[in-house]
Structure 1
Amino acid sequence: MTTALAQGATAPLTAVRVTVEVTARQRLDVVAVLLTSAGRVRSDADLIRRQSPRGPGVLHRPATGSVPQAITVDTWALPRDVTRVLVAANLADPRATFAGAEPTATVRDAATGRVITTFTPPRLQRETALLVVEVHRRGAEWKLRAVGRGYPDGLAGLAAEFGASAEEPNTAADPRRAPAFTPAAVPPPMPAAPPRGTLDKGRAKLVEDGSVALVKQGRPLPGPVRLAVGWAPARPGHGVDLDVSCLAFDARRERLDTAWFMKRSVFDGAVRHLGELPADSPDAEALDLDLAALPTEVCGLVLVVNSFSGQRFTEVHGTYFRLLDPATGDELVRYDLPRTDPHPGLILAKLVRHLSGEWVLTALATSVDAKTARGMVQPASRLL
């Protein structure tokens, strides 16, 4: 049985990807606003709506026939500096109000269509825009809150509360231009997350938190890839003993399996740990990944490195990972660790399967006080 939320109530999200449908007796425009912990948008791109339907981890779905407008939020794909996603609605008719036509939000598991909860705000008055629900992060958990706060001056009033202004487009200059959503000058917006690229322009060099979709010309890479890791001792003559592992998670961030030097093959060989590479190899250890062969329940892979002997990463320099085409040896993606910390564990990268089915590789640099892959499970799940 589906439980309806009361205004102000909070419920845990029971799915990684959720779709929020908003319906009413009047024609609506549904929007999403991405906010940082400062309660501010970062840039114009943080307003997701019909005119600009895609953002990092957020997708606007237009109404078609009996299917209502909706916002889909993929919590795994949201940038780390985004802590709240607001789902709002404003009336398409500027002369109308929500009085007597309160909208209903239906929150569904995006993967199955199962209804998680619903929310209808109390009776409204002269409001022309409404902040309906909010998806927000508390620690490592994502939750849903029923808001139902109205604004009498439409989207402009809603935007102003979060330090932004909604400007009308200059249709005389360019009738195709969507209305702007510009951060206010004071306080300044937080910097945007590094952009997500593709492999269309060849080799990608990542920065920390930078991402690349493993697609070329709109298609997934045609075959398996190799994820190789390398490092060197900080002081010549001092050996370094590190172990590379790959943790696999499902849509609920529960660990499914781990590929490591004691378990070389998981998921019928879709992930294969190659162990220590020969001395003449430029890399230290590597894994072969056949992403297309992974079971559908595998939604995320996390690359971790540990020192069982307790060596710290301050004893290592030049740590990197690179993604290769194992058939040709061509380097597709490279990431050089920007810093080292005095911990024996390191989360180096994550691979996340998005709503579209594409896999996105993100470079990380998260230190963990753990000597084995087992100690990395919870910290890794929180980064998905």
Structure 2
Amino acid sequence: MELVKGANAPIAAGEVRVAVVAAAAVDVAALLLTPTGKVRSDTDFVFYNQPTAPGVEVHPPDAIRIVPGAVPSDIDKIVVTASLDGSGPADWGQAGPLRISVTDGATGVVLATFVPTGLGPETALIACELYRRQGAWKVRAVGQGYANGLAGIAADFGITVDDAPPSTSQPVSPPITPVSPLAAPAGQPPAGQQHAAPQPNAAPQPYIEQLPAAPQPYAQQPPAAQHPAATPYSAPAQYSAAASQFGQPTLSLDKGRVSLRKNETVSLTKRGAPPLSRVRMGLGWDPAVHGRNIDLDASVIAYDNRAKKLVNVWFLKQEAFKGVIRHSGDNLTGHGEGDDEVITVDLTALPPEVYALVFTVNSFAGHKFDQVSRAYCRLVDDHSGTELVRFELSKGEPTTGVFMCMLTRGAHAWNMTALGEYAKGMTVRKMIDPGKRFVLTSL
């Protein structure tokens, strides 16, 4: 049966398969809704990162399996969505037509089909919905588009995609005490190859090329004539032998790549050159050999100068500030060489209210960092490809989150502080309140 938008048809099958066929790559998802039109909790959002719920299962990348008899009695409706995966066209207007089919999962008989029309700038849509009516199940063709992607749909039905700003009443931790650095491995290991790992259960440490005896204060005034095209730069007052406040730099990039201890800070400047303008966070790990897939997630939290969260960018919200911060998309397994997930930031285009960026890594599937093989994260100069700091995450502490580093806005340029502190949190949302203490102690 071919349905038009808004039309419905009965579903008598004991197992139903809803598939989306399109010229572009798509991700399908489903939301289990109560009679209020909302989910009971985030576990009612079934998608590639959380592929099962009672009676509902994602068959990546383009199908949902539904067993109506196994759906909980307090669930009134199942909404099936389709979103572009970001690897092809920018929106449905460019992606071309798509077709939704509903088939009997046991026999393969087509029960209903639907072709949404009128789509343009949208990147996700509600394809159809299965709902209860007088003790039976029916399917309705919907075809409603969303310009703000899967996150917009999820938020409309009660999924917490982006938390409210954290409470300012939370206690503030004291400044972090620096610890001794690890011994330096020789050279920089290529992305995707094996990296030296710290001792078991040790806090992650920056990757160090050459460790100076002690950080030297940077206090030179570079002559502008050495680089006529560069942005004028004068050394901030905090570059002094007494600079000891957490988040205040004692090092610059004058001599190239810097050796950072945990909690040490470098100014992202180089004498005679403009300040660093674009950075890239890379995250990589090896796939699981047995059992569940290992799914690590790279994220970043933007705070203002009162430690109020402005936004966090992660796999459910892949850009902010009109693309100034951009996430490459979710890697669910660690397959592939080099960085598996990447976040890029144009520092020059960030809104003035952004004071700090805190980069985190989380283990969505619950694997703890002492169980993950060859996992690392790094911060890179996106223009030159120079690696600024690296943490080896494998053989770390038995927890699911880690604060990698923090960028803070200085008077003339951005500063970077190596953090390397573990925390509990399978998603970045659990890191927002704990992360604000780094921001507050840097002010």
Larger Rg: 2
TM-score bucket (shorter structure): 0.3 to 0.5
TM-score using structure 1 length: 0.47
TM-score using structure 2 length: 0.41
